[in-house]
């Protein structure tokens, strides 16, 4: 009778141990699933942050581009003004050179105007 009793108790203990083992295993799976869920949530948060970050970077780049384009427009207008001024100076000196050439020719010893004076 003791043997039978021992056998039953042993089976009952083994059954409890197996149930406890299964329960612990299910807890481990749940904990792992929770960790996976936390990792997923963290990854999703990072993925949501990245477009916001890229939007901020895009906005900054757009502002810098607009600033550079404004500077480029200003530089082009200044360049046009310098070219115009340079052309005006060149025209002035060309006309002065022509006037000097005319005076030189008029004052050369072979001309009549020089002999009269």
Give the rounded distance of the alpha carbon of 20 from its chain centre: 57
Q: How far apart are CA 24 and CA 111, in angstroms?
A: 125
* Residue 114 near residue 108 (C-beta atoms within 8 A): yes
pLDDT of residue 21: 79
Tokens 């025209």 belong to 91
Say what the pLDDT of residue 1 is: 47
**Segments in the chain below pLDDT 50:** 1-2, 115, 117
| Burial of residue 116, with CB atoms counted within 10 A of its CB: 0-12 exposed, 13-18 middle, 19 or more buried | exposed
The SS3 call for residue 57 is: helix
pLDDT of residue 45: 78
């Amino acid at each position: 009778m003791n043997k039978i009793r021992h056998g039953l108790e042993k089976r009952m203990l083994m059954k409890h141990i197996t149930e406890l083992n299964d329960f612990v295993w299910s807890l481990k799976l749940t904990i792992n699933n929770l960790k996976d869920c936390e990792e997923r949530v963290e990854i999703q948060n990072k993925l949501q942050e990245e477009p916001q970050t890229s939007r901020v970077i895009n906005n900054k780049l757009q502002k810098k581009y607009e600033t550079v384009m404004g500077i480029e427009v200003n530089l082009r207008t200044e360049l046009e003004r310098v070219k115009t001024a340079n052309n005006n100076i060149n025209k002035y000196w060309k006309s002065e050179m022509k006037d000097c050439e005319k005076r030189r020719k008029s004052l050369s010893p072979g001309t009549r105007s020089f002999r009269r004076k």
